[in-house]
Amino acid sequence: MATPSRSVIRAKAPLRISFAGGGTDVPPFPEREGGLVLNATINRYAYGTLRPREDDAIQIDSHDFGMSAVFDVHEPLVFDGKLDLAKAAVRRFAGRDTRGFDLHLHSNAPPGSGLGSSSTMMVALIGLLKEHRNLPLTDYELADLAYSLERKDLGIKGGLQDQYAATFGGFNFLELFGDRVVVNPLRISPDVVLELEYNLLLCYSGTTRDGGRVIEDQTNRLQHGNEDTVGALRAQKELAVEMKNALLRGRLADFGALLDSAWQAKRRMSDRISTPRIEQLYEEARKAGALGAKVTGAGGGGYLLVYCGNGSKHKVAARMLDLGADVEEIAFEPEGLRTWRVHDT
């Protein structure tokens, strides 16, 4: 039987949906005015497995990208666009006494889906490696490290919300001040959570997106003082507060209408956020009875989150299917990152 030091380590971190405030977590807005984000984690996950080796080789396999990489644990890493997330995490945690290991990574949402999949995978990776190295990290330290590796070391454009959502899990109201993040867990009534699940649909537009290009355009507009972008970001903050209050008080019809307001504000942040396909799905969902809908990430593709209400869920789902969109129901995940060990067999 394998000894504990040679046991296999697994990690599981949840993806998230953002209700309002997305974009206010993207620099330089948090430094200038502070950001507010309302999000929740769902039953979609990034998974990882770390299996120690007896030699100094590291092998990384990504099911999502269909890629593999093999290198020596002590050799300089080359960041060439091939599994760079995993390489950045390995480089940060490698030590002189580190031996080799195999990493197997996969998630049940496509890259570019708008559900925070890349940042969630980074959180899962750090969870695996900190357990492997027996390093103490608080949840805040882990989320901050995930942000630093992805956004600063690798230069991948984006905000701060995804790493904290995946680490902490559940419904959260995030306050952002520069690089400092305060996570406020929300105690939503179980009945409200169940009713929210009952009325929500995720509709996949059929295309992934390059969130970095959308965020780059949004950032350029902000830096040049574009009134639409600045005003839309400020509106997102106000809507995050209003939607949080609607959830806490169980006013879900108001929540659905505010979700729609969040989309109207979001689309003003950049011309690249919406597309003809997204507009088609949005308009038809509304005609079928949806109270509100918005894209779940930076925009340009990915998932549309639809709040149905008024008994319209089956009509909305049928119309989305008619238009060739994949339709999924969701459940909320109250837990954040989890790691565990199993004996290698």
Measured CA to CA, the distance from residue 291 to residue 310 in angstroms comes to: 8
Measured CA to CA, the distance from residue 147 to residue 167 in angstroms comes to: 11
Residue 152 falls in which region: left (phi positive, over 0), alpha (psi -120 to 50) or beta? alpha
Active site residue 344: no
- CA-based nearest residue to 156, from 80, 212, 213: 212
Give CA separation, 67 vs 62, 87, 146, 304, in Å.
Answer: 5, 13, 22, 28
**Residue 281, phi then psi, degrees to nearest 5:** -65, -40
Judge if the upstream peptide bond of residue 28 is cis by omega within 30 degrees of 0: yes
Measured CA to CA, the distance from residue 39 to residue 240 in angstroms comes to: 9
Q: Which of 84, 144, 162, 217 is catalytic?
A: 162
**Residue 153, phi then psi, degrees to nearest 5:** -65, -45
Q: What angle do CA 46, 109, 284 make, to 5 degrees?
A: 150
Beta bridge partners of 48: 11, 105
**Active-site residue set:** 162
